[in-house]
Amino acid sequence: MEQNEILNKKKNEIEKENLEIESIIIPNYKKKTKDTERKISKTIGTFDELVKETEKHRKLWHQEVDKIINKLNSLIKSKRENYITLLESHQSRLKNLISDMIQTMERNKNILNTNRVSEVTNYKSKLKQYRNIPADIDVKVPSLNTKIVEGREIGIEFGEYRATLTQTASFTATNKVSYENMKESLDKAMVISTISTGVLPLWRVACVGTDEVWVSGDDEVIKRVDIHGSLQESVTTACRTFPADICVTREGELIYSDSTTENVHIFRHGKPEVMITTPRGWRPYRLYCTSSGDILVNVSNYTQNKIIRYQGTILKMEMDKDEHGNPIFKEGYDILAVAENINGDISVCDGNADILVVVDKAGRVRFRYDGSQAMREKTSGPRYILTDTAGQIIMTDINNACIHILDKNGQLLKCVDNCGLDKPYGLSLSSGGTLWIGLPDSGKVKVIEYMK
C-alpha cells in the first residue's frame, strides 16, 4: 500500500473519531453531567429536610425532657415540703411536751411546799405519759436514679415516679400534629346552657340521654331536670341523710350509694331496691357504671379507701394495693372518685393526696397526675372524674375553677377555665358528648361543648 493511501486511511479514522466524540459521546457526557447535577441538588435538599426533621425531633425531645424534669422538680419540692412539715410538727410536739413537763415540775414543787392536804391527795402523776417518748420520725429521702443505654434509652427514677425516653418513643412529628389538632379542638370549649336546679348545695350530677340530668344535694331527694331547668321527676331515697353518689346504668336506671349503710340502691318502678351490699365495715361512696355493665364502687372504712368492681351483685375485683403490695391510695377521710377508660385503665381522684392515679387492668400504677402540668395558681383539688369515647380523662378541679382534660397516657391537653366554672364539683357526660358540671354554691349546672 502506498504511503498516500495509508495517510488518507488514518485521516479518515481520525475524522470519524472526532465526529463520534462531537456528535455522540460529548452530548452523552453533558447529559450525564446534568443528571448528576440534578442528583446533587436533590441529595442536598433531602439532607436539608433530614436536618429540619431532626430539629423537629430535638424540639419534641426537649419538650418531653422539660416535662419530665419539671415533674421531678415538682415531686421533689412536694416531698420536701411534706417531710419538713412532718418533722417540724414532730419538733413542735416535743417542745410542747418539754414545756408541759417544766410546768408540771413547778406545780409539783408547789405541792411539795404546801400543807394543803387536798392538793397532795388529788395529785395525779404524768410520769407514765412522759415516759412514753414520741417515736422518731423516720424520713427517707428518695434517691435519684438514672439509667443510660448509649444511643437507645434514657431512664430516670425518683421514688415511685419513673420516666423513660427511647428511640422508639412516640414523640414523632405525626403524633405531634395529632396532639396539636386535639388541643386546637379542645380550645373551642363553650357553654351552651346554664341550668338553675334549685338544689343547694348541688353536689352530684348524672346525665340521662342527651338533655336531662339527675341532681342531688344535702337531702334525701334526687331530682331530674332537663336542659331548660324544668323539673321532670323527683324521687326520694331511703337514705337517713343524703345519697353519697348517684349514677345511671347502661340500661338508664338510676342508682345511688348510701354511706350510712353498706348498700347501693337502684330505682325500679319508682322505688329504691338494694342492688349491692358492700363488705362489712366498708361504706359505699362514689359510683361509676362501666360500658360493660359492671359497677365500680369506692368504699371506705373512714381511714382507708379501695375500689371494688361488681358484676351484678358479684364482687369481681378489689383495688387498693399495687403489684408490690404497697397502698395505691393515701389514707384519710376523703373519698375516691373513679372512672374506667376505653383501654381498661381505672382512673381515680384521690382526694386525700389531691392527685389523679391511673391503674391498668393488672393493678399496676401507670402514672400519677398532680395538676402541676397545668401551672395553676393553687394546688389541684380533684373531685369528680370521667373518661370519654376518645379515651380522654376529664377531671373537675374545685380549687382552680377549671376542668383538666388529659389523654389516656397522662399528657395534659387542656384546662377549660373560660366557662365560668366557680368551684366545679359534680361531673357527667351526656350521650350527645356534652359535659354537665355541677356548681355547689349556685346550684347551677353548666352544659359545655368541650370538643368539636
Dist. CA 305–CA 284, nearest whole Å: 10
Dist. CA 101–CA 67, nearest whole Å: 51
Residue 178 lies in a domain: no
Q: What is the mean pLDDT of residues 68-85?
A: 74
pLDDT score recorded for residue 179: 44
Tell whether 167 and 282 lie within a shared domain: no
Tell whether 239 and 145 lie within a shared domain: no
Tens-digit pLDDT profile for residues 135-149: 776 767 777 777 766
Dist. CA 11–CA 1, nearest whole Å: 15
Tell whether 160 and 244 lie within a shared domain: no
Q: 140, 171, 202 — which closes off a domain? A: 171
pLDDT score recorded for residue 427: 97
Dist. CA 241–CA 219, nearest whole Å: 6
Q: Is the model more confident about 131 or about 281?
A: 281
Bridge pairing between strands 190-196 and 435-439: unpaired
Dist. CA 236–CA 426, nearest whole Å: 20
Report, in angstroms and rounded to the nearest whole number, the Rg of the chain calculated over CA atoms. Answer: 35
Tell whether 352 and 321 lie within a shared domain: yes
Tens-digit pLDDT profile for residues 207-227: 999 899 999 999 999 999 999
Query: Which residue range is the domain that position 23 belongs to?
Result: 1-171
Residue 157 lies in a domain: yes
Tell whether 306 and 196 lie within a shared domain: yes
Tell whether 193 and 134 lie within a shared domain: no
CB of 317 closer than 8 Å to CB of 362: no
pTM greater than the 0.75 cutoff:
no
CB of 248 closer than 8 Å to CB of 231: no
Grid coordinates given for 145: 436514679
Residue 143 lies in a domain: yes
User: What single letter denotes the amino acid at residue 331?
Assistant: E
Secondary structure (3-state) at 99: helix
Tell whether 224 and 283 lie within a shared domain: yes
Tell whether 209 and 333 lie within a shared domain: yes
% of the chain beyond a pLDDT of 90:
46
Secondary structure (3-state) at 74: helix
Residue 5 lies in a domain: yes
Tell whether 279 and 237 lie within a shared domain: yes
Q: How far is CA 304 from the centre of its chain?
A: 21
Residue 93 lies in a domain: yes
pLDDT at 30 over 70: yes
Grid coordinates given for 63: 419538650
Tell whether 72 and 133 lie within a shared domain: yes
Q: Is the model more confident about 73 or about 434?
A: 434
Residue 439 lies in a domain: yes
- Least confident range from 61-75, 89-103, 219-233: namely 61-75
Residue 334 lies in a domain: yes
* Domain CATH code at residue 403: 2.120.10.30
Dist. CA 372–CA 390, nearest whole Å: 23
Residue 144 lies in a domain: yes
Instruction: Grade residue 385 by pLDDT with cuts at 50, 70 and 90.
Output: very high
Number of H helices, E strands in the chain: 5, 27
Counted domains in the chain? 2
Tell whether 259 and 346 lie within a shared domain: yes
Q: 171, 201, 236 — which closes off a domain? A: 171
Tell whether 120 and 244 lie within a shared domain: no
Q: 108, 136, 171 — which closes off a domain? A: 171
